[in-house]
Homo-oligomer: A and B are copies of this chain.
Amino acid sequence: MIFKDCVAYLTQKIKEGLDKLDDCVINEMVESFFECDKMFIYGVGRSGLASKGFAMRLMHLGFKIYVMGETVSPPVNEGDLVILVSGSGRTNSVVKIAQLSKEVRAKIVVITTEKNSPLADLGDLTIALDVQKEKDPRLAPLGTLFEDGALIFFDCIISELLDRMGENEDRMTARHASLE
C-alpha cells in the first residue's frame, strides 16, 4: 500500500516548495489586497477549485472578492485586483482573462509553477510555486502538487492576513454562509 508514502511525499514536497518563497513577494501580495477596490479570482479545473477555496476565506475575512464566471460577478475595472491561477501558465481562458484585465488596467497577480509562460509574463506580480519539479508521477500525477500546494499557499496567506488585520475565528464564523 502506497497511501502513507504518498501522504509523506505530498506534505514534504509542498512544505519544501513553499519554504523557498521570498518573504518580500508574500508581503507584496498581501499588501496589494489592501490597496484595491475589489478582487477577482479565476482558474480552471482543480486550480479553479483551489481559487474558490481562497475566495471563500477572503470573504470570511471581509474582503470584496468575486469568482469570475459565477452568477453575480460584476465587471472588472481599473483599481481592481485580478488573481489568476494556472500551473502551466498556458490555460487558454486564463491567459485571455489576463490580457483583458490588462486592457482595463486592473492589477494582475499570477500564481503558477512556470516563470516562463504567457500568463507569468502578464502578471504585475507573478508568484511561481516550486513544487512540481522532478516529481514522481505515481505519487503526484498531473498538476496535483501545484493544485494542493496552491490551496495550502492560499490558506497561509489567509493566516497572514488574519494576523495583520487582527481578525479572529469568531468574526470569520459570523461571515460564513450558514443555511446549506
Chain A residues engaging chain B, CB cutoff 8 angstroms:
1-4, 6-8, 10-12, 14-15, 18-19, 21, 23, 26-27, 44-46, 49-50, 52-53, 55-57, 59-60, 65-76, 91-93, 96-97, 100-101, 137-142, 144, 147-148, 151-153, 155-160, 162-163, 168-169, 172-180
Contact = CB atoms under 8 A, between A and B. Distances in A.
A71 B54 CA distance: 10
B56 A179 contact: no
Given A155-B144, A156-B6, A175 B56 contact: no
A52 B49 contact: yes
Nearest to A97: B179
Contacts of A176: 75, 142
Contacts of A44: 69, 180
A128 to B, nearest CB: 16
